[in-house]
């Protein structure tokens, strides 16, 4: 029997597989890019240029968090109950990300591919409707969630203060060095969803962590390559993609 959990986890795993396939075929690399990585690319000779140019504003990220908040609140109202711990943390996460998107990040004309937008909307819908039982490791999960949230917020504030297309200097390092990480805010996102996995170890949280690790790991790696191409000083070499000392 195909349950909501099986179908949702299968979709996330298929999407993760699609990203890995695209990573291994250079002709498909443009579909992986968004934001700064789209600027200046040349796809004029690609047979798939029409597909690659199906773009939407990156500022539409706020749709993800608005959807998450509305669906969780609507679900709780429909069933006449208070939100559980996982839902409370998701409401906190969604509210923080919505605030950052609307009031921390500067307005820009950056874009993302339609597939990125569609997967974001799908992921947050799955997270909103998923109502699992909770494990006995709630305290560990809450601590990881708090660490990941604070880390990500500090990174987002650093990004917001960075000149467009410049190399950001995140608070995790005091200066550019071999420990500099291209996208530590992606590592923080992964840590947050590992916390949800610890809280609710089942198919959807596992598939979500795999999706985030692959999709954001790929974006982080491509960002690292982008930043290193901009570096002219060997002291500014960026070694890590999303997680310092790990990847």
- The per-residue pLDDT for range 51-60, each reduced to its tens digit, is 778 889 999 9
Residue 89 pLDDT class (50, 70, 90 cuts): very high
- The pLDDT, as a whole number, for residue 176 is 41
- The per-residue pLDDT for range 98-154, each reduced to its tens digit, is 999 999 998 888 888 899 999 999 999 999 999 888 777 899 999 999 999 999 999
Q: Is the pLDDT of residue 174 over 60?
A: no
pTM over 0.85: yes
Give the range with max mean pLDDT: 60-74, 125-139, 168-182: 60-74
Contact by Cβ (8 Å): 16, 210: yes
Contact by Cβ (8 Å): 126, 205: no
CA–CA separation, 218 and 29 (whole Å): 10
Contact by Cβ (8 Å): 16, 10: no
CA–CA separation, 185 and 188 (whole Å): 5
């Amino acid at each position: 029997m195909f349950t909501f959990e099986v179908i949702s986890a299968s979709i996330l795993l298929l999407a993760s597989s699609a990203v890995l396939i695209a990573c291994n075929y250079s002709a498909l690399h443009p579909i992986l890019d968004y934001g700064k990585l789209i600027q200046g690319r040349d796809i004029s000779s690609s047979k798939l240029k029409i597909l690659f140019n199906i773009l939407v504003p990156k500022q539409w990220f706020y749709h993800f968090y608005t959807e998450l908040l509305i669906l969780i609140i609507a679900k709780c109202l429909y069933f006449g109950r208070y939100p559980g711990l996982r839902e409370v943390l998701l409401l906190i996460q969604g509210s923080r990300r919505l605030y950052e998107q609307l009031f921390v990040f500067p307005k820009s004309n950056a874009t993302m591919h339609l597939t990125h937008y569609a997967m974001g909307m799908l992921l947050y819908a799955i997270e909103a409707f998923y109502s699992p039982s909770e494990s006995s490791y709630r305290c560990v999960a809450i601590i990881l969630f708090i660490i990941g949230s604070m880390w990500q917020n500090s990174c987002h504030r650093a990004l917001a203060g960075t000149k467009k297309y410049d190399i950001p200097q995140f608070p995790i390092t005091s200066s550019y060095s071999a420990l500099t990480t291209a996208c530590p805010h992606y590592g923080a996102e992964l840590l947050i969803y590992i916390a949800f996995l610890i809280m609710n170890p089942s198919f959807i949280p596992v598939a979500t962590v795999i999706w985030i690790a692959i999709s954001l790991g790929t974006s982080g790696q491509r960002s690292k390559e982008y930043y290193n191409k901009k570096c002219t000083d060997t002291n500014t070499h960026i070694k890590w993609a999303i997680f310092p000392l790990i990847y």
